[in-house]
Every structure is written in C-alpha cells, then in structure tokens.
C-alpha cells in the first residue's frame, strides 16, 4: 500500500504533451511544472498539487489504495476545468512500475486511457496514453519527468 511513498516531497517536472492526440501528429509542447506531494493514511493515500507556470493553471491528484482489491484509484482535478474527474484510473504496481486504466473522453468521443508510473527516489516518470481501438494500440500523449527539487 506504500507504492506512492516515493512521490512525497517537492519536484521539478518537465512536461511533454502531444498537441493533437489521436491525429497522427508528432507535434509536442514542452513546458515546466512544479509539484508537491504528500502521503496520508500510513501510505494508503497520496495527494499532490502541480503548478504549470507557463500554462496558467494547476492540477491536483488524489490517490487512494483499496486493500481488498490491492489496487489504487487515481482522481484528477484541474483549475482550468474547475472540476474533479469522477471516473478514476485504477491499477497497481509491480515493483517500481505501476499501470492504471480508465475511461476518458477526447474531442467528444470515448477513449481508453492508461497511466504508467515509474518510481524512483530522485527521479520518476508518468506517462499518459490513449487508445481509440479498445486497447489494441496506444498513443502516448503526455509525459512528465520528475526530478527531486
């Protein structure tokens, strides 16, 4: 249940986001971020806030561990949208790699979404990918490379 303990603390983040996901484009936008994360419930919950200073918005993530299923539920909120996503990403870690799946909407159509976390003490990585063919193929559309501040 302590899978996200590595994230506690302050981080500098390099974001790369695909400008037009699921369009065949390879045009990426790179921008900085600053993140502060905390652990709660003895490691069974994790919270972080990230600031995107050049984008003018912040985000926050709440992660909660279910000991019965041995899985995490991840929820995202953004100051840009002013709402909390109520459909969680759900998954687990195998060693230092965590994989989480959920449902998203992209340009008004449903897509599968996948998060991949790679844990580390001084660096970490998060990736988001979409699939519009029910998980047969995935397109990574956002990466965040974390370096401990």
- The answer to whether the beta carbons of residues 112 and 131 sit under 8 Å apart is yes
The helix/strand/coil state of 20 is coil
The rounded distance, in Å, linking the Cα atoms of 59 and 52 is 8
Q: Which residue has the tokens 């397109």?
A: 139
CATH topology of domain 3-19+28-148: Lipocalin (2.40.128)
Please write the tens of the pLDDT for every residue from 59-109. Answer: 999 999 999 999 999 999 999 988 888 899 999 999 999 999 999 988 989
113 pLDDT band, cuts 50/70/90, is very high
Q: Tens of pLDDT along 22-66?
A: 999 999 999 999 999 999 999 999 999 999 999 999 999 999 999
Q: What is the DSSP letter of 42?
A: G
Beta bridge partners of 13: 33, 146
For the chain, the domains span 3-19+28-148
Structure tokens at 111: 């897509």
Q: Give, in order, the Cα–Cα distances in Å from 23 to each of 44, 61, 126, 143.
A: 38, 27, 22, 18
Taking a C-beta distance cutoff of 8 angstroms, is the pair 65, 90 a contact? no
């Amino acid at each position: 249940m302590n899978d996200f303990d590595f994230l506690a603390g302050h981080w500098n983040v390099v974001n790369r986001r695909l400008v037009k996901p699921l369009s065949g484009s390879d045009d990426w936008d790179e921008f900085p971020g600053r993140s502060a994360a905390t652990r709660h419930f003895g490691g069974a919950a994790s919270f972080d806030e990230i600031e995107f200073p050049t984008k003018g918005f912040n985000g926050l993530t709440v992660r909660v561990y279910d000991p019965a299923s041995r899985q995490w539920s991840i929820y995202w909120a953004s100051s840009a949208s002013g709402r909390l996503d109520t459909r969680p990403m759900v998954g687990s870690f195998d060693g230092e790699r965590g994989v989480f799946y959920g449902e998203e909407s992209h340009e008004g159509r449903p897509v599968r979404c996948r998060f991949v976390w790679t844990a580390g003490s001084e660096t970490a990585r998060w990736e988001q990918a979409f699939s519009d063919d029910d998980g047969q193929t995935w397109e990574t559309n956002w990466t965040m490379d974390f370096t401990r501040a």
